[in-house]
Chains A and B, each alone.
Chain A
Amino acid sequence: MTLTTTEISSPGMTLNMGPQHPSTHGVLRLVVELDGEVIHSCRPVIGYLHRGLEKMMEARPYRQNVPFTDRLDYLASLNCNLAMAQAIERIGNVTVPERAQYIRVLLCELNRIASHLVFLGTFATDLGATTVFLYSFREREKVLDLLEAMTGARLTYNWIRAGGVAADLPEGFAEGVRAFLEEFRVALDENDRLLTGNRIFRARCEGVGVIPREMAIAYGASGPVARGSGIPYDIRRVAPYDVYDRMEFDVPVFSEGDCLARYCVRIEEMRQSARIILQCLRELPEGETTTKLPKIFKPPPGEAYSRTESPRGEFSVYLVSDGSPNPVRVHIRTPSFVHLGLLPALLPGVKVADVIAILGSLDTVLGEVDR
């Protein structure tokens, strides 16, 4: 005997998730059509945080554009600084002193750890495990303390400038970083015991929001999202910048493409970041920390772009110069913008609770989506 099922269609319900919703991580609005608990279709609506940064940058000299980038991915603003600084250096053919390159890598990796810790905490909270949030933020606090000692700021650092970094490492920084990494290793292991192996956590993540390899490529996914789908695409490896070509680190790749794979990529990346930081501290050469740029910096006409690996993925800045002190066009390619574009293809058929899990696993920052 075979059982037959009858499709019962109902008019469904349109639910506006956001812009005020605790789990959209900012001001994202998802217009979802619901059939009971199941998502029929989803249309993300963005732009609530649109400040026209790209347009504002056109009205300012190149170097004054770096602080704007702090407001893009505010969880990893040093990485954004880096992308902008690099684009400026490319268009103006500026070389960066070696020591500055090391410091940049060091700072970016510290910031990557801080950013991934926010991911860890918010992702766990999205799934209902609130305690992990506080544990991961406790660790992040230590990174922020270090970065504050370095830059004086806790979120918008504006420390990586065109030509180098703003100043040298403060006294005692290396010891502070080493002490933190020692504690951090223990904390990561603790997290593995608390969350990664948890059966409920795995049940919520495994097989949820699967992005197949081909889909990830066709949609331009990058960073942990691409690496969670089996694509070994890490700008630090495929197009090394600064001193990443001298660093020894692994690019974690998981082929499952689900939320758990993306989570595991990020957890493993934190360990690799710790490795890179220790190498930087070990090999840090003496020397200048910045190349002096002329007072009025006029790059030759042309265009240039930078590619950097931010914690969220490929973060690149495209600059066009006409020989004047201001850029004529600035475009910022942000990974979160691309990853949010995956949602309409990813969500149909999943449950309401999975929306939160999938959105959390993409780890988007609305500041860089809306620009």
Chain B
Amino acid sequence: MSEESEGLRGIKERFGEALLAAEEADGELRLTVAAGRLTALCAYLRDEPILAFDYPADLTARDTGEQLILWYRLVSIAHNRTALLHVELSRENPAVASVTSIWPGLNWFERECFDLFGIRFPGHPDDGDPARMRILLPEDWEGHPFRRDYEPVFSGDPLHGPQERN
């Protein structure tokens, strides 16, 4: 327990002002971080030996109606511990620095977040090219269907899906 608290203390010392919330429960680190310091925190989480969150397990987002929340789940293989990172973003023009340089495995997850929520990830290899960022939906899809304000466009033809061109 003391070691884990030490890890959390280290994070708090370094990122004190950027941490909006930080707690430790059920053996998990639960952090809410300001978007600006995300990459620095991620690099610290990975490289600090007592934390060593080297394994990117999951990344997704959700739309609460007021804001978009990114949810990172990181695992430390060596310590067998989980960290959950929350990043709150505004719904207008959401963007957060990409962490693909730290965990290349999150590349496709970031693309998925762009595809479904319209969150931009500056620094992502495909950032700036919506056609290449799209992953699950067709390249020319318009809109981001998991946002609360998304209105499906019906093509009028029941045999074709929304937005499908004949």
Interface residues of A (CB under 8 A from B): 46-47, 50, 52, 54-55, 217-221, 231, 233, 238-239, 303, 305, 307, 314, 316, 318, 320, 328-329, 331, 333, 337-338, 340-341, 345, 370-371
Which 5 residue pairs spanning A and B have beta carbons closest together?
A: A220-B105, A219-B105, A331-B60, A329-B62, A47-B136
Q: Is the CB of B136 within 8 A of A318?
A: no
Alpha-carbon separation in the docked complex, A320 to B134 (Å): 24
Chain A residues with CB below 8 A from B135, complex form: 46-47
Minimum Cβ distance to chain A for residue B43 (Å): 13
Known A47-B137, A50-B137, A316-B58; 11 more pairs at CB < 8 Å: A50-B136, A55-B145, A218-B56, A218-B104, A220-B103, A220-B105, A316-B57, A329-B62, A333-B58, A338-B105, A338-B108
Q: Is the CB of A341 within 8 A of B57?
A: no
Chain B residues with CB below 8 A from A231, complex form: 77
Chain B residues with CB below 8 A from A305, complex form: 58, 73
Minimum Cβ distance to chain A for residue B64 (Å): 8
Interface string of B32-61 (1 = CB under 8 A from A): 000000000000000000000011111010
B85 part of interface (Cβ distance < 8 Å): no
Minimum Cβ distance to chain B for residue A88 (Å): 17
B31 part of interface (Cβ distance < 8 Å): no
Minimum Cβ distance to chain A for residue B54 (Å): 5
Chain A residues with CB below 8 A from B55, complex form: 217, 220, 233
Chain B residues with CB below 8 A from A307, complex form: 57
Minimum Cβ distance to chain B for residue A259 (Å): 20
Interface centre among A217, A337, A345 (most CB of B within 10 A): A217
B27 nearest in chain A by CB position: A239
Alpha-carbon separation in the docked complex, A197 to B80 (Å): 36
Alpha-carbon separation in the docked complex, A221 to B105 (Å): 8
With A217-B55, A314-B57, A338-B105 given, is the CB distance from A371 to B146 under 8 Å? no
Chain A residues with CB below 8 A from B108, complex form: 337-338, 340-341
B126 nearest in chain A by CB position: A43
B163 part of interface (Cβ distance < 8 Å): no
Looking at the complex, which one of B54, B58, B145 makes contact with A217 (CB distance below 8 Å)?
B54
Alpha-carbon separation in the docked complex, A307 to B74 (Å): 12
Chain B residues with CB below 8 A from A318, complex form: 58, 60, 71, 73
Chain A residues with CB below 8 A from B71, complex form: 303, 318, 331
B138 part of interface (Cβ distance < 8 Å): yes
B106 part of interface (Cβ distance < 8 Å): yes
Q: How many residues of B contact A (CB 8 A)?
A: 25
Minimum Cβ distance to chain A for residue B73 (Å): 7
Alpha-carbon separation in the docked complex, A305 to B71 (Å): 11
Interface string of B94-120 (1 = CB under 8 A from A): 000000000111111000000000000
Chain A residues with CB below 8 A from B62, complex form: 320, 328-329, 331
Interface centre among B71, B105, B107, B134 (most CB of A within 10 A): B105
Looking at the complex, which one of B106, B136, B145 makes contact with A220 (CB distance below 8 Å)?
B106
Looking at the complex, which one of A47, A221, A314 makes contact with B138 (CB distance below 8 Å)?
A47
Chain A residues with CB below 8 A from B63, complex form: 329
Chain A residues with CB below 8 A from B104, complex form: 218-219, 345
Please list 15 pairs of residues, one from A and one from B, whose beta carbons are closer than 8 Å in the complex, sorted by A's number.
A55-B146, A217-B55, A218-B103, A219-B103, A219-B104, A231-B77, A239-B80, A303-B71, A318-B71, A320-B62, A328-B62, A337-B108, A340-B108, A341-B108, A345-B104
Alpha-carbon separation in the docked complex, A320 to B61 (Å): 11
Minimum Cβ distance to chain B for residue A244 (Å): 15
Minimum Cβ distance to chain B for residue A216 (Å): 9
Chain B residues with CB below 8 A from A316, complex form: 57-58, 73
With A217-B54, A217-B55, A316-B58 given, is the CB distance from A46 to B136 under 8 Å? yes
A340 nearest in chain B by CB position: B108
Minimum Cβ distance to chain B for residue A176 (Å): 37
Chain A residues with CB below 8 A from B80, complex form: 238-239
Alpha-carbon separation in the docked complex, A314 to B103 (Å): 17
Chain B residues with CB below 8 A from A370, complex form: 136
Chain B residues with CB below 8 A from A238, complex form: 80
Alpha-carbon separation in the docked complex, A228 to B103 (Å): 20
Chain B residues with CB below 8 A from A46, complex form: 135-136
Q: Is the CB of B77 within 8 A of A218?
A: no
